Amino acid sequence: MTDLQVFRDETRHWLEEHCPPSMRTPIKTDKDQCWGGRNANYVSDEQKQWMDNMASRGWTAPTWPIEYGGGGLSKAEAKILSEEMNKLKARLPLSSFGIWMIGPALLKFGSEELKLQHLPPIVRGEIRWCQGYSEPNAGSDLAGLQAKAVDMGEHFIANGQKVWTSYGDKADWMFCLLRTDPDAKKQSGISLVLFDMQTPGVTPKPIKLISGSSPFCETFLDDVRVEKNQVVGEINQGWTIAKYLLTHEREMIGGFGLTGAGSQTLGQFAVEALGTEHGRLTDSVLRADVIRWEIDAAAFAVTAERVNDEAKSGQGIGATSAMLKYYGTELNKRRYELMMKLHGNDAMEWEGEASKDGWLPRTWLRTKGNSIEGGTSEVQLNIIAKNILGLG
């Protein structure tokens, strides 16, 4: 047996033993997702147990170095871990902006001190992060941001307003873009800083979404003290780091386009909703739409895999993440439009037991944000046109 086969066997046994039964069932609602943090709301003891079990091996962040609490796995081993988890239909033990966004940025740009302070609590699901990038007047034009931090010698004092801060009211810490040099040109005077959401002067106010829930906030910063050692990388060099972080965010969001292994395919969903006649979906028009979607989804899945394998062999992913983000989110939106159509009038139910309080229409509405959050589809297409195709 090769080392990787040994690793696979060992992993399989360990997962069998340590993944509680209820964590092997599909995620049905938002609540089933485990986000950890100081104010964590676990749906069950098993949910917390599963997170803790995985964290004890660093497998909530499998490829991060062991000295920062990670699993220290190679990319090949991490792929095996995820395959074995899929076989078991194991849920993701921990959803985390720490793991998906600020962690990778800290690993690449952070000081040793910052890595040791922040990475292990992220792996253990103890600290939950939110992202303070967008402002009312700085969305697609992110570099136009105005919230500022004034240098007071030992520390900064920050003032301004952030908006669309996902889970701002639930998070423990924020990674935040602030203007630290008001005189420099747009991109040059920005720093990426970290602060505790409990710092006096930080006020997140929930904003209700069209789906009825309130996962994002506007966050006001009034004379917030930010320590100088909490600047990631160099002062005024935050833009490069911010963009690096965005490529990770985009890959994560683009991944919504993948049907997770173990979950129902759109084809199966369609059969359940409409039934078949002579082995074909009863509605021939919807059948054609479902087929087209499934083919695009299959093509997307192998593309995501290819991009991943290319990255492993050292080829850059920077601009490709724009393509994955664009295509993956548009695909996810199409999937939910089709699911709505497949359920006909029933898909309209907003409250009530039969529909799990409108799980489908609410999720469908939420997917509309996929092509906006993390940089809109239009911004991704601009990046592809400029950076990959060399147009303009």
Partner 1 sequence: MALVHNQEHQMLKESAQGFLREFGSITELRKYRDSEEDFSPLLWPQMVEMGWAAILIPESHGGLGFGQVGMGQIVEQSGRMLTASPLLSTAILGASIINLAGSEEQKAQLLPAVASGQLTTALAVDESAHHAPNNIGLAAEKTAVGFRLTGSKRSVVDGHRADLLIVAARSSGSLGDSKGVSLFLVESKAAGVSIEKMSTVDGRSVANISFDGVEVATEALLGDEELGFRVLSKTLDIGNAHLAAELLGICSEAFERTLQYLKERQQFGVSIGSFQALQHRAAHWWSEIELAKSLVLKCFQALDADDIKAPILVSISKAKLCEVADLSTNEAIQMHGGVGMTDEYDIGFFIKRARPVQALFGGYSYHSDRFASMTGY
Ligand X SMILES: Cc1cc2nc3c(=O)[nH]c(=O)nc-3n(C[C@H](O)[C@H](O)[C@H](O)COP(=O)(O)OP(=O)(O)OC[C@H]3O[C@@H](n4cnc5c(N)ncnc54)[C@H](O)[C@@H]3O)c2cc1C
**371 is a contact residue toward partner 1 (CB under 8 A):** yes
Q: Exactly one of 125, 328, 358, 374 binds partner 1 (CB under 8 A); which one?
A: 358
Binding partner at 375 among partner 1, ligand X, none, C-beta below 5 to 8 Å by kind? ligand X
**Minimum CB–partner distance for residue 286 and partner 1 (Å):** 5
**353 is a contact residue toward partner 1 (CB under 8 A):** no
Within 13 Å, how many C-alpha atoms sit on residue 239's CB side?
16
**372 is a contact residue toward ligand X (CB under 6 A):** yes
Question: What phi and psi, each to the nearest 5 degrees, are found at residue 71?
Answer: -85, -15
Cα separation of 68 and 122, whole Å? 10
Tell me the site size for ligand X, rule CB under 6 A. 20
**140 is a contact residue toward ligand X (CB under 6 A):** yes
Cα separation of 305 and 151, whole Å? 45
Cα separation of 179 and 145, whole Å? 7
Q: Exactly one of 11, 60, 96, 131 binds ligand X (CB under 6 A); which one?
A: 131
Classify 131 as helix, strand or coil. strand
- In order of 36, 91, 94, 107, 335, the CA distances from 219 in angstroms are 21, 31, 25, 26, 32
**Minimum CB–partner distance for residue 99 and partner 1 (Å):** 24
Nearest to 237 by CA among 177, 183, 194, 195: 177
Q: Exactly one of 107, 291, 317, 365 binds partner 1 (CB under 8 A); which one?
A: 365
Q: Which is nearer to partner 1, 84 or 218 (CB)?
A: 218
CB 12 within 8 A of CB 86: no
Q: Exactly one of 369, 374, 380, 383 binds partner 1 (CB under 8 A); which one?
A: 369
Here's the x/- map for partner 1, 288-327, by CB under 8 A: it reads as -x--------------------------------------
Cα separation of 349 and 358, whole Å? 5
Q: Exactly one of 40, 207, 311, 317 binds partner 1 (CB under 8 A); which one?
A: 207
